[in-house]
Structure 1
Amino acid sequence: MTSAAFDLAAIGAGLSFASAIDELQAALDTSASVVVSAPPGTGKTTLVPPLLATRSPRRVIVTQPRRVAARAAARRLAQLDGSPLGTRVGFTVRGERVVSRETQVEFVTAGVLLRRLLDDPDLAGVDAVIIDEVHERALETDLLIGLLSEVRELRDDLVLIAMSATLDAERIAAVIGTDDEPAPIVDHRVPAYPLTERWAPSPAPRLDERGVTWAFLDHVARTAASAALDLHRDDPTADVLVFAPGAREVSEIARRIRDTTDVFDVRELHGRMPAAEQDAVIRGRRPAEEPRIIVTTSLAESSLTVPGVRLVVDTCLARTPQRDAGRGMTGLVTTVASRSSSVQRAGRATRQGAGTVVRCVDERTYATAPARPTPEIASTDLADAALLLACWGAPEGKGLRLIDPLPSESLADALTVLHGLGAIDDDGRATPEGRALARIPTDPRLARALRDGSPVVGSRLAAEVVALLGGDVRTADSDVAQALIALRGGRTPDSRRWRSDVDRLERMTASAPGVRSDLDGVGLVIALAFPERIARRVDSTASGATFLLASGTRAGVSGSLAAVEWLAIADVTRASGRAAAGSGAVVRSAAMLTEEQMERAASHLLTDRVEAEFVGGRIQARRERRVGAILRSSAPVRASADEGRDAVRRTLQRDGLSMFAWSASAVELRGRLALLHRELGAPWPDVSDAGLLSALDSWLAPELDALASGTPAARLDLTSALRRLLPWPEAGRLDELVPERLEVPSGSRVRIVYPTLDDPDARPVVAVKLQECFGWAETPRLVDGRVPVLFHLLSPAGRPLAVTDDLTSFWSGPYAQVRAEMRGRYPKHPWPEDPWAAAPTRHTKNRAAR
């Protein structure tokens, strides 16, 4: 590696950040970790790397969140340095590496550096790492900060710089600093050029159930064309930048603008374009060329600069990953862009002078947008991240200094996936299989499909499918097989990049069989990656079909795939409207699958068992063959005793004891036992629903067997079953403590009504005619005198006259009023003035006299 120093003065000429070099040098003299905060376009990405290279004999690595940004930054620095790209300055991105032994500054994507760390945890030969665009909070960038903070505990000579245009600098400084002291912050601010804000809300909605509306795209195109023509009259050399949420919207807006005006060179810029076309847009235009309208995704928001822009037109929409926990799926969803993102976009118009932003919303809508974007770590699938952390030796990220912890629910789902792949053991540590999968630069599920699918379908076809699924390639009509045909024929903009990815992936499976030209194995490769997304058609309509996935999710399918029986689904996302076929989800990419391929890919999900259910008081059983939640066949059979018992238990746990017909005697016994348990506790049993359900084998085992053999629930004697719970020898006192009946002074034995379980504070009740209790002074008490009986004293006709648990007080007081009211109504019955001296009776006066 050459030791020649970069000419910082020449490189920094005209760059605002050149004035902050001394402050950064001073910070580096006192700390090996620094946070740099500076607005876009000030030159921090261009100046900081060569500055570190002049202080370091070994290589400086700079990470960018996107491939196009890494290439552009490397080309820009090499141009300013006057050296050929790949000599003093180089870059490495997925599928492309332009470096040499003399390279001093290497620009890479965050994903490249993460996998390099797995092979070289000490980063031998590297003196400094710069993590750029931290504010975007990309998952890989967050992980890098955690891993590099740990590397620095072993290598205190390794310099770590976190850079961004807008970030919570204090928070990042605390993470990359030490326990004792945060990293110093170099905060470079420059006077902003004037920005004129204009508002152009669309009369039509921006979004509907299918995504961005055609009417809104029409509005954006008209707004951009009109504003560009106005700008062109004042400044014929200025360019225009139009921000759209995704590649589809970019293409549609660009097409509409071309149909509107021929004054401008309308260009597109997004991640699916070939690298050469991306680089041509970023390098700018020659003075003699037409002014440009560049329609772009968030690619141009902060991680690279498009020169010459004086006007920005912003849809104020963004495409972000979003995880649907209920369906276990993650996909890109169009949402409202955060205000901080909109500010970044607008800043592209004031890079070189005064500029204008036209936002296609009104001010109120803009004000209600979220202040900052959601960190990717909180919203995306974590399988790849969890595997990388397991390989690093920090399962689940434990012990790492992360900006935000990994969300527990998403992490649990990711660990389940990795367990299923055999990538981690029970302790969360990476297995040899997991380490092999981690070195394939794609999602672990796709890596597994590449390794396991290559020996079956051929290494070329497996690599083709995995490159398509992992490369964000557009799939027309959701059909992966048809998309492969188009890619093979070079008929899509993605073909060149896809073919490069295929070659790279195929080299990783060199021992597998060679090329196979047929597409029969496409579905198998997808199913090997996502066995839980194997799906079977369950309903068809004129507009498509509904498929049931092995995971239990339903999803709508349209086009030719709606006619097949089995699908291997690679991408399914939330949706509504006709596209979702009433399922709440829609298939974005899939391929036809044969039943034989399904059995090969999802052998661990196949079940063949008897499912017994307790329905209508009887056991019903069917033999069911399933793949996950998908029912393949079902036939009635006779349940075995064990199957029947299991079915009864499941029904009891689901529906409770209400499935039984409780006789009056069973209800009474249960009430007596409940009172004893409440007053005395153990050993008297808990006969609440929860108590009985938890002790089924102690009291209901014979009845469970009877039900399992076909006896209807209505025939069970639950009184006898409950008596099995009686504790011995205490059970001998049951009738003494809580008798069934109470003898009153007339000689009658009156039934005691015990409280029900839903009214535990009630007391035992005896309803008896008032005349039968004459002379009874002391209220009887149950449960060894703990619980007084509550008397409902009745008229001769059995109607309530009084309620009391104190007979002495009743005879001495309220009885006189009752006597005055009742003796005229019931003259044949005794109503003595002195109830203490009267003989108790249940008869009339004449019959009592006889």
Structure 2
Amino acid sequence: MAQDPIARLLADPPDLPVVAGLDALRRAVADRGAAVVMAPPGTGKTTMVPPALAALVDGRVVVTQPRRIAARAAARRLAHLLGEPVGQTVGYAVRGDQRVSSATRVEFVTTGILLRRLQRDPGLTGVGAVVLDEVHERQLDTDLTLALLVDVRRHLRDDLPLVAMSATVEAERTAALLGDAGDSGDDVAGPVPVVDVPGALHPVTEVWSPLPPGVKRSDDRGITPAFLDHVAATTRRALAQHDGDALVFLPGVAEVGGVVRRLASLDADVLPLHGRLPGREQDAALTAGPRRRVVVSTSVAESSLTVPGVRIVVDAGLSREPRTDHRRGLAGLVTVRVSRASAEQRAGRAGREGPGAVHRCWSEAEHAHLPAHPAAEIATADLTAFALDLACWGSGDGAGLALLDPPPAPAMEAAQTTLLGLGALAPDGTVTERGRAIAAVAADPRLARALLDGAALVGGRRAAEVVALLSEDVRSPGADLVAALRAVRRGGPDAGPWTAAVKRLEAALPADRRGGGGSERLGDDLAVGLVVALAHPERIARLRPGGTAYLMTGGTGAAFRAGESSLAGVPWLAVADADRPAGRRDATIRSAAPIDEDLALEAASALWEEAEQVGWVEGRVVARRTTSLGAIELSASTIPDPAPHLVAGAVRDGLRSDGLAVLPWKPSALELRRRLAFLHRALGAPWPDVSDEALTDAVEAWLGPDLARVRGTRDLGRIDVTSALRRLLPWPEAGRLDELAPERVVVPSGSAVRVDYDGDQPVLAVRIQEVFGWRAAPALAEGRVPLLLHLLSPARRPAAVTADLASFWATGYPAVRAELRGRYPKHAWPDDPWTAPPTTRTKPRR
């Protein structure tokens, strides 16, 4: 009887560093049911951990990979070691491609595949163990799948072994989360064991290759041709200085193609590597050849793939990360500087098989300023699909789930608002049947909505074709998505992945919506535009009058690059892709299709609105009745008699922009405002806040009856502000206004002196002779705030300032008397101010 292939492999394993840690892994799984394997790339963890688990459990071991290319490559590698073709003991399942059988014991899948399986079958029937690979990359699907698996172990399957594999110290945090998952019925607490496998890298020499003077990495069009020239030149120099194959890292598919073309004359095989290539071409890049090779790759080769023969790494120092502008509704990938951790992982690719070298296309000084680690996707990405997955799981906000980081509240709010608009969530946040139908389509929820609704309007086949264009990120020549559709139909360079996506998406439709159908009046141009508009109603755009720029329904301006697209000037567009570079007011349209107004209204009916708009424009109230599609105004007419509350809002806006100084502040109004401000500071409520901000916010409360007549700044100038302020007086407390904050205070001489409330403390300015015999000035605001006395000379110049008159008579008055009696001999300067009669006269009475 033939020996079990997995047992045979484990009995005679390859010489890989991870083999030394397999016994510790077996003990951890036996004791706690979970473990974390921390091992750098190249140690063999992806190859050897899954079969080690398969020998321990009944059922299939499911291993996740962050990318399709990595899942397929890992399955091929392990199947090769077992001496079998893929699809027997080892298989894989990725979007649009699956090779498994009843004999499969180890199945490599993308994280998204496992996520959808969890939603369909939380108990993971037939699964004996799960391995989550590359958790350190912090992709959104990986974070969520980890959290859901912890939940499954806690509540459904405490017998399900779970192993997370990481290349960084994030392993400790992951171990703590897994420790919360339950321990197969044990009472053991704390993090699960971390199996630390040291790397076995050979030394890698660092070579710094900074940009030549005047060369920029990027401009408003993206990565510059001059920078790609620099990367190509650095690669040629590295090949001349070192032996072995080269691996060149670039941020995206376009840059990979640009450098491949620049290296075409090399005496070597120059091969691209990225996720959009057909499997045959990916396999070629991952297979050692008879000639020297230069593999030009995106970040797919950074940690989860092994490229044999590599002794040279050329790193452009850039990566693509998801970013979302939630306020403008723009989401996509942006080019950023690579982190130091990612740079180290890339460099390590050169030291797997022997001493190597990394040529970095930046300076050593720049390296010190790179971020330490890449940002977790949950902090930067669009969370719409994430929020829908949470709702389908029954945890709408993620509370109680073992997430490495909580989702940012603004991003979650934006995602839930989008899902409400799609009909995927009920107002209480629970998932609807429509939401479950959207979630069942392996696509972004917006694209799934466009597929399901677009099939009824343009036919299932055409809807699937357009959604496939968007989901596979097919390049659009001249930003024209219709031209891109025609190109892939003819078999262009993107046709392979696109065709597979079309078949998959069409199969996801109900049987009665597949194939043709839909409106016969729509040609491809409008059909493409309609499906795009269904996916992104907030990006429907209309040409601005007299210009070349557009306004999108979401409120963001957008424009094509000058001379780039034949679509420039089309009245209505459905924008599939746009980004807004830093410092730019308008977004740049990357991909779009034409649409007409009727179809725009049909696709974005939820954004259609009739409203009365009353605003403050250049010093006057402008009132209009408008019909709008989001931020796009379709029609408008004047309102002769606008509603008072709308006028109040316009005046409020006017006061905010022009300031309260536009009102006629007579002395009586200013005095009353100061007294009210004093009482608000001293006593608080119910005495009103009369600051600029508070008065502006409460404009209806105090200017209310006057607002009906206001149509501009001239009308504001006629308002009696004193009477308006009195409307803010609280009742019955208003009857005590003169007691608590009197306008004047009677002093011993009989004079009624005005109190100055302009400062923080009320001030009474009075000549010294008028307060002889006064032992204390009255305290205001129910005795809480003493009057601050400014004691004046006969010439009404300040001689002393005090809030304690008794202390002044005792200690301060003798010095003031000595100074002033010679200067003002006709005035009374008695020795005893306590008993001297107060006077307003120049000579004392005899």
TM-score > 0.5, shorter chain as reference: yes
Query: C-alpha distance in 1, partners of 2:711/2:796?
Result: 46
Structure 2: how far apart are the matches of 1:169 and 1:312? 26
CA contact (8 A) 1:243 1:296 kept: yes
- Partner residue of 1:216? 227
1:412 aligns with 2:413: yes
Q: Which moved more, 1:396-405 or 1:626-635?
A: 626-635
> Conserved in 2, the CA contact under 8 Å of 1:138 and 1:376?
yes
1:641–1:278 distance in 2 versus 1, CA, 3 Å: same
| Whole-angstrom CA distance in 2 between matches of 1:628 and 1:791 | 61
Structure 1 residue 832, shift from structure 2 partner: 5.4
2:217 to 198, 207, 210: 207
1:556 paired with 2:559, answer yes
Aligned to 1:357: 358
8 Å CA contact retained: 2:626, 2:637: yes
Deviations 1:805-824 (A, max 9, x none): 7499498763564343246x
In structure 1, distance between residues paired with 2:731 and 2:329: 53
More deviation in 775-784 or 582-591? Answer: 775-784
Matches within 5 A, 1:248-263: 248-259=254-265, 261=266, 263=267
| Equivalent position of 1:612 in the other structure | 614
Match of residue 195 from structure 2: 186
Residue in structure 1 matched with residue 501 of structure 2 by the alignment? 501
Matching residue's letter, 1:504? R
Report the AA paired with residue 265 of structure 1: D
What displacement does 1:692 show? 5.3
Structure 1 residue 418: Cα displacement: 1.5
In the alignment, which of 666, 670, 678 is matched to residue 669 of structure 2?
A: 666
SS where residue 362 of structure 2 aligns?
coil
SS in 2 for 1:521: helix
CA gap of 1:198–1:539, structure 2 versus 1, over 3 A, is farther
**1:150 maps to amino acid:** D
Q: CA deviation at 1:193?
A: 2.5
Task: Give the AA of the match of 2:718.
Answer: R
Equivalent-residue separation in structure 2 for 1:729 and 1:57 (angstroms): 81
User: SS state of the match for residue 395, structure 1?
Assistant: coil
Task: Give the Cα–Cα distance (whole angstroms) in 2 for the partners of residues 528 and 374 of structure 1.
Answer: 31
- Map of 1:502-521 to 2, 5 A cutoff? 502-509=502-509, 510-512=511-513, 514-515=515-516, 518-521=524-527
- Work out whether 1:264 is the aligned partner of 2:268: yes
Q: Which residue matches 2:705? A: 702
The residue type equivalent to 1:277 in the other structure is E
Give 1:152 shift.
1.6
Q: 1:3 to 1:640 in 2, by over 3 A?
A: farther
- Post-superposition Cα deviations, 1:182-223, rounded to whole Å, max 9, x if no partner, equal 222332335433333323223144523233322221122122
Q: Which amino acid aligns with 2:273?
A: L
CA distance in 1 between partners of 2:836 and 2:358 (Å): 104
Match of 1:227 in 2: 238
Q: How does 1:488-637 map to 2 (within 5 A)?
A: 488-491=489-492, 493-509=493-509, 510-512=511-513, 514-515=515-516, 518-538=524-544, 545-558=548-561, 559-575=565-581, 582-583=584-585, 585-614=587-616, 618-637=620-639
Structure 1 counterpart SS, 2:513: coil
Matches within 5 A, 1:299-448: 299-448=300-449
CA gap 1:462/1:780 in 2 versus in 1, 3 angstroms: same
SS at 2:84 equivalent: coil
Residue number in structure 1 paired with 2:30:
29
CA change 1:728–1:421 in 2 (3 A) is: closer
Whole-angstrom CA distance in 2 between matches of 1:24 and 1:746: 97
**1:19–1:838 distance in 2 versus 1, CA, 3 Å:** closer
Residue pairs, 1:52-67, within 5 angstroms = 52-67=53-68
Are 2:245 and 1:239 aligned?
yes
Quick one: distance in 1 between partners of 2:405 and 2:732? 62
The answer on 1:280 being equivalent to 2:284 is: yes
Gaps of at least 5 residues in structure 2 are 183-188
C-alpha separation in 1, matches of 2:58 and 2:25:
18
- For residues 435-480 of structure 1, give each alpha carbon's deviation from its aligned partner in whole angstroms, at most 9, with x where no partner exists: 1111101100111111111111221221111111111222222221
Is the 1:617–1:712 contact (alpha carbons within 8 Å) kept by the matching residues of 2? no
Matched positions, count: 816
Q: 1:8 to 1:412 in 2, by over 3 A?
A: same
Give TM-score, length-normalised by structure 1. 0.87
Write the distance in 2 (CA, Å) between the matches of 1:370 and 1:336.
8
Measured on the aligned residues, the alpha-carbon RMSD in Å equals 3.5
Verify the 8 A CA contact 1:674 1:688 in the aligned structure 2.
yes
Given the alignment of the two structures, is residue 101 of structure 1 paired with residue 102 of structure 2, yes or no? yes
- Quote the Cα distance in structure 2 between the aligned partners of 1:695 and 1:540: 40
Higher mean C-alpha displacement, 830-839 vs 447-456: 830-839
779-788 or 431-440: bigger deviation: 779-788
Distance 1:839 1:313, change over 3 A: closer
- 1:196 equivalent to 2:205? Answer yes
CA 1:255–1:779 in 2, change beyond 3 Å: closer, same or farther?
same
Contact 1:149 1:401 survives alignment (8 Å): yes
Given that residues 645 and 707 in structure 1 are in contact (C-alpha distance below 8 angstroms), is that contact kept between their aligned partners in structure 2?
no
Gaps of 5+ in 1: 824-829
Stretch moving more, 249-258 or 210-219:
210-219
Report if the CA contact (8 A) 1:10-1:80 is conserved. no
Distance 1:680 1:518 in 2: 71
Q: Distance in 2 between matches of 1:778 and 1:55?
A: 96
Q: Which moved further from structure 2: 11-20 or 664-673?
A: 11-20
Give the aligned partner of residue 43 of structure 1. 44
Q: Distance in 1 between matches of 2:395 and 2:432?
A: 13
Counterpart CA distance in 2 for 1:398 and 1:16 is: 39
Match of 2:186 in 1: none
Shift of 1:15: 4.0
Per-residue deviation, 1:114: 0.5
Cα distance in 2 for partners of 1:311, 1:632 equals: 59
Match of 1:454 in 2: 455
Alpha-carbon distance in structure 1 between the residues aligned to 2:196 and 2:86: 30
Distance 2:305 2:733 in 1: 84
Corresponding residue SS for 2:113 = helix
Matched ranges for 1:139-150 at <5 A: 139-150=140-151
SS state at 2:98 partner: strand
In structure 2, relative to structure 1, the CA distance for the partners of 1:189 and 1:691 (3 Å cut) is: closer
Structure 2 residue 82 is the aligned partner of structure 1 residue 84: no
| Residues 574-608 of structure 1, C-alpha deviations (whole Å, 9 max, x = no match) | 3258xxxx425322222222111221122222222
Letter of the 1:530 partner, please give it: H
- Normalising by structure 2, we get a TM-score of 0.87
* Cα distance change, pair 793–314 in 1 and its aligned pair in 2 (3 A): closer
2:51/2:106 contact within 8 Å kept:
yes
Cα distance change of structure 1 residues 489 and 663 upon mapping to structure 2, 3 Å threshold: same
Q: 1:30 offset after TM fit, Å?
A: 2.5
Change (3 A) 1:742 1:157: closer
Which deviates further from its counterpart, 407-416 or 704-713? 704-713
Write out per-residue CA displacement over residues 688-738 of structure 1, whole angstroms, 9 at most, x where no aligned residue.
556656766665432234437998122222323334455666655555665
CA shift, 1:501, in A, is 0.6
The one-letter code of the counterpart of 1:569 is V
Tell me, yes or no, if the aligned pair for 1:556 and 1:583 is still in contact at 8 Å. Answer: no
- The CA distance in 2 between the partners of 1:733 and 1:20, in whole Å, is 84
Residue 781, structure 1, aligned to residue 775, structure 2: no
Task: Find the counterpart in structure 2 of residue 644 from structure 1.
Answer: 647
Partner Cα separation in structure 2 for residue 722 and residue 673 of structure 1 = 9
Check conservation: 1:12, 1:43, Cα contact below 8 A: no
Amino acid at match of 2:578: V
The 8 Å contact of residues 91 and 104 in structure 2, kept in 1 or not, is answered as: yes
